[in-house]
Amino acid sequence: MTKYIITGGRPLNGEISISGAKNAALAIIPAALLVSGRCRIENIPQIKDVTIQLQILQHMGADVRMVDSHTMDIDCTGISSPIADFDEMRQIRASYYHIGTLLGRFGEAVVAMPGGCDFGGVRPIDQHVKGFHAMGADVEVRNGVVYAKAATGRMHGAYVNLDVVSVGATMNIMLAAVLAEGITVIENAAREPHIVDLANFLNSMGADVRGAGTNVIKIRGVKKLTGGTYAIIPDQIEAGTYMTAVAAAGGSVLVKNVIPRHLNCISSKLEEMGVDIINMEDSVLVRRRGALHRANVKTMPYPGFPTDMQPQIATVLCLAQGTSIITEGVWDSRYKYVSELLRMGANVQVNGRIAVIEGVKRLTGAAIKSWDLRAGAAMVIAGLCAEGVTEVEGVNYIERGYENLVEKLRSVGADIESVYVPDPEGVEEEEAV
Ligand code: UD1
């Protein structure tokens, strides 16, 4: 098993460059299945979830070639079956985009139900199914496999009003709609930057998607998508994670290769907490010298404060003067990591979706665990600002979504190393799902 060993208390100073957006890449890579011919995708982050998504396409028969460390050529012409029921599908949540892409291309999909981070319960796909159903598909789940089939052999356009704002459902319905007969309208659509990125990718290949970034998206089905080249946007959450790391540990870091507008929801909260933020064209300077102020945070769909930044901001607030209240507005439960912060001396009480944080003067190093991807990032932040040595276990979760986290943090002065520790019972750490 691999652990991170962090000696805390060092301010961070220098520059960090942000990789391509995980959540955009995880939808754009399967979208290549809708393209006739080869497409080149640039700025792909080198992370475990992306590797699995590429393996899934290869398993289905795609020709995937690495052009350089962050660029892939993908040609899905060789895929001839709508069946994607194999193990890699169960390892990541984003494998569910293959329901939309296979329905779009073949009018049929047989797809293993996805895995993904566990936020304390099931992660439903009823809104995806509602959309596919409106577009003419019968959908059934049997023995952990989704069977979906368009009654006429081809999906048709439809009006879909989502009951909840869902990123996954918005993207999946969009994927099923680009090659459908007629016009699809998604109302109450999610507005996250990765939704706009997926629409831009599809449009650059010849699709007709309008309104992405607003809550009404209109997709006019086209006969065919043709190949091209597309570069994925920078990762909003990776950038936000390093911004909160600077807020927690102190120092001054230029976070480069970002779209500052995508970070406004995070930047404004950090400013409220006493952190200096200076936006430039494609970078953000983050500086923290004085004390941190308390703040209340409510997570919401974009452009609200992202649920994927909740564990990181909560960790910073553990060191802010006064009482802060966090309200988790997207998931029923996303506070498993709080038990680890308590071991480090934090004062946090959780009641359902609410966490009440009484700021403390310091956190102290301890042996702690990552519970999921973003909670894992928060544990690293806790280690960076704690007194003494922190050991973080379960880093396979973190490496699913952060490219070169250890190297990036070391480059700005953090004392963090990744060490391999043989398991005493000889059992290897389980793969993250
Ligand atoms: C959500 C986040 C996304 C984040 C990801 C992982 C939002 C709106 N989305 O995306 O930014 O990257 O978690 O942390 O903040 N839901 C249903 N039925 C469905 C689909 C979703 O009820 O068919 C509910 C979920 O239970 C959840 C909410 O809708 O309460 C948002 O889900 P959704 O946006 O689909 O989740 P992700 O795409 O995983």
Is 192 near ligand 1, meaning CB less than 6 Å away? yes
What six digits make up the tokens of 22?
A: 């995980």
Give the predicted TM-score (pTM) of the model.
0.95
Query: Best substitution site from 26, 166, 265 to test ligand 1's pocket, by max atoms within 8 Å of Cβ?
Result: 166
**Residue 327, helix vs strand vs coil:** strand
Domains 2-18+234-420 and 22-231 in one fold: yes
Per the residue annotation, which of 39, 117, 265, 385 is the catalytic one?
Answer: 117
Q: Is the separation of the CB atoms in 97 and 125 below 8 Å?
A: no
The arithmetic mean of pLDDT across residues 242-266, rounded, is 98
Is 120 near ligand 1, meaning CB less than 6 Å away? no
Is 262 near ligand 1, meaning CB less than 6 Å away? no
- CB proximity list for 28: less than 8 A, separation 6 or greater: 41, 197, 198, 201, 230, 232
Query: Best substitution site from 330, 372, 373 to test ligand 1's pocket, by max atoms within 8 Å of Cβ?
Result: 330
Report the distance separating Cα 213 and Cα 189, nearest Å.
Answer: 9
The arithmetic mean of pLDDT across residues 310-328, rounded, is 98
The rounded Å distance from CA 124 to ligand 1 centre is 9
Burial of 66 (0-12, 13-18, 19+ CB in 10 A): exposed
- CB proximity list for 66: less than 8 A, separation 6 or greater: 72
Atom of ligand 1 nearest to the CA of 93: 39
Which element (helix H / strand E) includes 57?
helix 48-60
**Residue 166, helix vs strand vs coil:** coil
CATH number among 2.40.50.140, 3.40.50.300, 3.65.10.10, 3.40.50.20, domain 2-18+234-420: 3.65.10.10
Atom of ligand 1 nearest to the CA of 307: 15
Specify the residue for token string 């984003």.
Answer: 94
Report the distance separating Cα 323 and Cα 163, nearest Å.
Answer: 34
For the chain, give the percent of residues with pLDDT over 90. Answer: 89
pLDDT of residue 431: 35
In the predicted structure, residue 247 carries a pLDDT above the cut 90: yes
Average predicted confidence (pLDDT) for the chain: 94
For the ranges 102-116, 222-236, 298-312, 347-361, the lowest mean pLDDT is seen at 102-116
pLDDT of residue 187: 98
**Is residue 318 flagged as an active site residue?**
no
pLDDT (tens digit per residue) in 218-228 = 999 999 999 99
Report the distance separating Cα 39 and Cα 113, nearest Å.
Answer: 27
Which element (helix H / strand E) includes 390?
strand 389-393
Which element (helix H / strand E) includes 100?
helix 97-106
Nearest CA to ligand 1 atom 22: 124
The rounded Å distance from CA 247 to ligand 1 centre is 27
pLDDT of residue 433: 28
Partnered with residue 111 across adjacent β-strands are 84, 146
Is 310 near ligand 1, meaning CB less than 6 Å away? no
What is the domain partition of the chain in residue ranges?
Answer: 2-18+234-420, 22-231
Is 168 near ligand 1, meaning CB less than 6 Å away? yes
The rounded Å distance from CA 221 to ligand 1 centre is 26
The arithmetic mean of pLDDT across residues 12-27, rounded, is 98
What six digits make up the tokens of 32?
A: 């290549």
Q: How far is CA 304 from CA 165, 265, 288, 327, 328, in A?
A: 12, 6, 23, 12, 12
pLDDT (tens digit per residue) in 47-71 = 999 999 999 999 999 999 999 999 9
- Residue 429's pLDDT band, with cuts at 50, 70 and 90, is very low
Specify the residue for token string 């190093």.
Answer: 365
pLDDT (tens digit per residue) in 144-203 = 899 999 999 999 999 999 999 999 999 999 999 999 999 999 999 999 999 999 999 999
Q: Is the separation of the CB atoms in 234 and 21 below 8 Å?
A: yes
Q: Is the separation of the CB atoms in 284 and 260 below 8 Å?
A: yes
Quick one: fold of 22-231?
Answer: UDP-n-acetylglucosamine1-carboxyvinyl-transferase; Chain (3.65.10)
